[in-house]
Every structure is written in C-alpha cells, then in structure tokens.
C-alpha cells in the first residue's frame, strides 16, 4: 500500500521553499569561495615576480584566501538584511564559557592532528598502490622567524574570516529554523570550501564540533579561539615529522584527549531550544538542495583533476611551487625534501 503523500498548506509550502533557498544560499556562497580563491590566486601569480619580500607575499596570499571566504558571506548577510553588530557583541550564554573554551581548544587541536595523520596514512597507502598525489604545502619560508610569522598570521586571518562566515553568519541565519540542520549545512560548507585532502579532513573532524560549540556558547570569539587551535595543529603537522612508532603513540593520545574533551565540552546537556522546522523535514530539505551536490561535485572534480593521478594516466596537472609530486613514501621526508615556495616562483 502506497504511503499517502504529505499534503501541505500554501503557507507551509512557502516556508519550506524559503528554507531551501536559505540552505542553497550557504552552499552557493561556498561555491563563490572557490571562484574568488581562484581569482585571487591568479592575481597573486601576476604580482609575485614584482614582490621580493616573503613577508609581503605571504600576507597578500593569506589575505586573499581570507577575503575569498568572507566576501560571499558578507554579501549573503547583507541580502538578508541581518544586523552585523550582534555577531560580535553577543555575550556568551553558557555557564563557565572560559572553561568550555579551554576544553574546546584541546579537543579541536587533538582531533585536527589525528585527521592530518589519517590523511597522511591514506595518501601513503594510495602511493604504495600507484596512485600519486600533488599536495600543496604551506610556505613556512626560511628559518624560525618566517615560520612563526606564517603560523601567527595564518591563524589570525583564517580564524577570523572562517568563523565570521560559517558560524557568525551561516549558523546564525539558520539556527532558528533547526539547529541540527544549521550545524550540518555550515559544517559541510566549511569542509568543502577547500580542495586539499588535509584541509577537508580537518574541517570534517572539527567543523560540526565548532557549529555545536557556537550554539552552546553563542560567542563567535570563542569559536575563533578553537579555529586558531585547528590552524595551529595543521601547521604543526606539516612542519614537524616524527618516528612512525612515536607518531602512532601521538595519534592514540590525541584521539583519546580530543574525544574526551569534546564530551565534556557539552556536559551537562542543556534543554533543547524549540525549532521552527522539525529535524526530519529540515534534513530532507538539506539533501534535496542543488547547492550541496554542486559543491560536492566541485570538490570531487578538483581532487580527480589536480590531486590524484596515475603514472600511466594523461598528464592532467603540472605540479606547481610548494607541491609534492609524487607523495613521499617516507613521511619523514616531508620537511626536508619539499622545495621552498619562493625558490620555485615563476619568473
């Protein structure tokens, strides 16, 4: 016996259409992140031969990445006519916000390190089976001063831009409708906003956690602190290499600490806030929006065209500065054997 199709009133159908537009808006904004990142990257390549300063070139590159994330969501926020001030002025609503922030930093840092290690393991496994990869490595420059400069500047810019966009704007716009859907949409958009396997894995590991943390604490500044920890973990994993036995031990320790801290981050549970739309309806709308599938297809195309390839396959990519090609079989070769960004800058 066929299940009777749900009959909706005109107002209910109009509300669901509006919700689909809202979810699509977040995903489409993320597609424009890719477009702007490509545009800023092209401008930087034209400017690079005229700039001989590592510090200026790094600052321009990081600012371009940050603006490519922030600008589409600022336009989205403007079109919705939502006020900007509450994003940054809202006071924390959770008990012990500082303690929760500390636990969040521990959790996010440890889970990000675990995600980076898992991706390295997967890429080396593919390498052993003849599937190579070209991975863009951060340019830490020459020496400790330039490395510290990159870590500090990237942490400040990325944490501000990403958290303002994906938590301060996206989650705030959707949270009244349904909190679960708000976290899912913002988390997927956050993870798929970059085509690098390491970044996608880290953002999948911490993106949903950041969304729920924002809803619990209601402070975009606290989310920035957690994002800064994730960015520091990415730099830590790229910058340093360890003995395989110690790396296995480090993975286990980080996994236990990360999961434990995440549990206590939301303990004790608080009462659920009422939602305008039920969870089932909201999730169904999320996965019937065209935006989520366009974004997933864009990510898949990017990885197939520019990240993974076989030795006997057509030469789809030309490894550029800061990329390893093929992936080093020995993870300890990461820091020593990758050419410096400036040394490989096209003339």
Quick: pLDDT tens for 305-325: 888 887 655 444 444 444 444
**What residue has token string 């959790």?**
107
Nearest CA to 177 out of 291, 19, 288, 28 is that of 19
How confident is the model over 107-130, as pLDDT tens digits?
Answer: 999 999 999 999 999 999 999 988
Res 346 pLDDT > 50: no
Q: Is the dihedral of CA 71, 77, 82, 85 positive or negative?
A: negative
User: What mean pLDDT is predicted for residues 266-294?
Assistant: 89
User: What mean pLDDT is predicted for residues 215-242?
Assistant: 93
Confidence of residue 2 (pLDDT cuts 50, 70, 90): low
How confident is the model over 176-186, as pLDDT tens digits?
Answer: 999 999 999 99
Residue-level pLDDT at 32: 97
Res 160 pLDDT > 60: yes
Confidence of residue 241 (pLDDT cuts 50, 70, 90): confident
Contacts of 89 (CB under 8 A, 6+ apart): none
Residue-level pLDDT at 96: 84
Res 210 pLDDT > 50: yes
Distance CA 330, CA 108 (A): 27
Backbone angles phi, psi at 132, to 5 degrees: -95, 165
Res 209 pLDDT > 90: yes
Distance CA 295, CA 184 (A): 14
Res 342 pLDDT > 90: no
Three-state SS sequence of the chain: CCCCCCCCCHHHHHHHHHHHHHHHHHHHHHHHHHHHHHHHHHHHHHHHHHCCCHHHHHHHHHHHHHHHHHHHHHHHHHHCCCCCHHHHHCCCCCCCHHHHHHHHHHHHHHHHHHHHHHHHHHHHHHHHCCEEECEECCCCCCHHHHHHHHHHHHHHHHHHHHHHHHHHHHHHHHCCCCHHHHHHHHHHHHHCCCCCHHHHHHHHHHHHHHHHHHHHHCCHHHHHHHHHHHHHHHHHHHHCCCCHHHHHHHHHHHHHHHHHHHHHHCCCCCCCCCCCCCHHHHHHHHCCCHHHHHHHHHHHHHHHHHCEEECCCCCCCCCCCCEECCCCCCHHHHHHHCCCCHHHCCC
Residue-level pLDDT at 312: 59
**Measured in Å, how far apart are the chain's first and last C-alpha atoms?**
70
Res 297 pLDDT > 60: yes
* Cross-strand bridge partners of residue 323: 136
Yes or no: say if 142 and 340 are a contact pair by the CB < 8 Å rule.
Answer: yes
Task: State the average pLDDT for the chain.
Answer: 87
Higher local confidence (pLDDT), 66 or 134: 66
CA 173 to chain centre: 19
Read off the tokens for 223.
């989310």
Pairing state between β 131-133 and 308-310: antiparallel
Confidence of residue 335 (pLDDT cuts 50, 70, 90): very low
Confidence of residue 330 (pLDDT cuts 50, 70, 90): very low
Residue-level pLDDT at 242: 83
- Percent of the chain scored above 90 by pLDDT? 69
Nearest CA to 167 out of 198, 195, 207, 107 is that of 207
Residue-level pLDDT at 332: 37
How confident is the model over 39-49, as pLDDT tens digits?
Answer: 999 999 999 99
């Amino acid at each position: 016996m066929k299940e009777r199709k749900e009959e909706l009133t005109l107002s209910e159908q109009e509300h669901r259409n509006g919700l689909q537009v809202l979810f699509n808006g977040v995903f489409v904004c993320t597609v424009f992140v890719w477009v702007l990142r490509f545009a800023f990257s092209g401008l930087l390549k034209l400017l690079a031969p005229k700039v001989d300063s590592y510090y200026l070139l790094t600052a321009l590159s990081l600012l371009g990445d940050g603006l490519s994330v922030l600008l589409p969501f600022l336009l989205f926020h403007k079109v919705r006519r939502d006020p900007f001030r509450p994003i940054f002025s809202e006071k924390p609503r959770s008990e012990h916000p500082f303690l929760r922030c500390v636990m969040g930093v521990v959790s996010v840092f440890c889970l990000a390190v675990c995600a980076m290690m898992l991706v390295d393991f997967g890429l080396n496994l593919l390498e052993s089976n003849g599937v190579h990869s070209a991975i863009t490595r951060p340019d830490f420059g020459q020496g400790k001063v330039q490395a510290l400069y990159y870590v500090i500047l990237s942490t400040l810019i990325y944490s501000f831009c990403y958290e303002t966009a994906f938590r301060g704007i996206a989650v705030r716009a959707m949270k009244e409708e349904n909190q679960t859907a708000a976290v899912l949409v913002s988390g997927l958009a956050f993870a798929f906003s970059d085509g690098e396997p390491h970044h996608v894995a880290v953002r999948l590991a911490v993106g949903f956690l950041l969304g729920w943390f924002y809803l619990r604490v209601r402070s975009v500044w606290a989310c920035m602190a957690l994002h800064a920890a994730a960015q520091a973990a990415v730099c830590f994993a790229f910058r340093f290499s360890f003995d395989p036995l110690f790396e296995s031990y480090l993975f286990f320790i980080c996994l236990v600490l990360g999961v434990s801290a995440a549990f206590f981050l939301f303990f004790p549970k608080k009462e659920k806030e009422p939602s305008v739309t039920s969870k089932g309806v909201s999730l169904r709308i999320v996965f019937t929006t065209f935006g989520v599938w366009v974004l997933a297809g864009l990510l898949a195309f990017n990885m197939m065209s520019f990240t993974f390839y076989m030795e006997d396959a057509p030469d789809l990519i030309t490894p550029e500065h800061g990329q390893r090609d093929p992936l080093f079989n020995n993870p300890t070769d990461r820091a020593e054997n990758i050419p410096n960004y400036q040394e490989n800058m096209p003339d």
